[in-house]
Amino acid sequence: MRQLEMMSNFVRLAAHLQPDSVVDGPGIRCVIWAQGCGHNCPGCHNPQTHPFDSGNVVSIDELCEQISAYGQNITLSGGDPFFQSDSFAKIAKFAKSIGLTVWAYTGFTFETLINNEQYLNLLKYVDVLVDGRFDISKKSSECKFRGSTNQRLIDVKQSLINKNVVLWSDEFDTFQIKNNTYF
């Protein structure tokens, strides 16, 4: 699968850092919007983030300074940050080093990511992964923090330890409460 070629200390973003989000994971979070996505999910809400040559090229050092100044847990969204896994691994590693949690959205499945060294390099700094392509036929307003019921909220650390997907639990997820499952 394609990786966006970036100079080692830069990342391509679709927008400025977005602090104070309350819909991209629990609590108040700072969202980093990756530019570039090759999944082409029908009904995607962010088609402007798909081209790999659009958006803005940003210094990772400057971005980390901004993350530190906001001091909010971060969410990697897009676009798909795993198309720039080397750059986003540096950003996620920095966030973890100053005590922040990291959520990441991807169109890849967890099973695909763990079988690729480059993807794993980013995944190992992610606390919760929202995985899978958006499926418009499974769109549901009952899904908290995700668009369709096929997408999973995955506790990455526990999943890597168990070598099996362990779902992140959220007592306020009405879909999970009603169905006792994410599928």
Using CB under 6 A as the criterion, which residues of the chain lie in contact with ligand SF4 when the complex forms?
37, 39-41, 44, 46, 49, 78-80, 107, 133-134
For residue 147, cis peptide bond before it (omega within 30 degrees of 0): no
**Residue showing the smallest CB distance to ligand SF4 in the complex:** 107
Closest separation between CB of residue 42 and ligand SF4, Å? 9
Work out how close the CB of 2 gets to ligand SF4 at its nearest, in angstroms, rounded to a whole number: 13
Q: Which is nearer to ligand SF4, 19 or 38 (CB)?
A: 38
Least separation in angstroms between CB 79 and ligand SF4:
6
**Nearer CB in complex with ligand SF4: 105/168:** 105
Distances (CA, A) of 121 to 27, 100, 112, 151: 26, 18, 13, 22
Nearest residue to 74 (alpha-carbon basis) of 101, 35, 106: 101
93-122 burial code (b ≥16 CB/10 A, e <16):
ebbbeeebbbbbbbbbbbeebbeeeebebb
The dihedral through the CA atoms of 170, 172, 132, 105 has a sign that is negative
The nearest distance, CB 25 to ligand SF4, in angstroms, is 15
- In the bound state with ligand SF4, the residue whose beta carbon lies nearer, of 80 and 155, is 80
In the complex with ligand SF4, the residue whose CB is nearer, 41 or 143, is 41
Q: Token pair of 125, please?
A: 């700094």
